[in-house]
Amino acid sequence: QALRQISQRTISTASRRQFNNRVPENQKLFQEDNGLPVHLKGGTKDSLLYRTTAGLTVCGTIYAFYYLLVSSMPKKPN
């Protein structure tokens, strides 16, 4: 009985909340012709995410080529 009241209260209060629809704002932002690629139009957060991803990709590629080079070298006998 108590569990049902708690669940009904949670559902009923969640449905009353009004969320601000920001889709038109975002459409205007992303469709604006300002010379930026779409993956950078979100601002500083998008730019930071892009640069971090690019940096990790470059580092991972260098790391992979390094270990490919190391594993291709014959081992010296002791």
Q: Token digits for 19? A: 């969320």
Residue 66 domain boundaries: 40-73
Number of structural domains found in the chain: 1
pLDDT of residue 12: 55
Residue 62 lies in a domain: yes
Over range 1-9, report the average pLDDT: 67
Residue 15 lies in a domain: no
pLDDT of residue 10: 57
pTM of the model: 0.60
Q: Do 40 and 50 meet the contact criterion of CB atoms below 8 Å apart?
A: yes
Q: Do 38 and 30 meet the contact criterion of CB atoms below 8 Å apart?
A: yes
pLDDT per residue as tens digits for the range 7-61 = 666 555 555 567 898 999 989 988 999 898 988 898 999 999 999 999 999 999 9
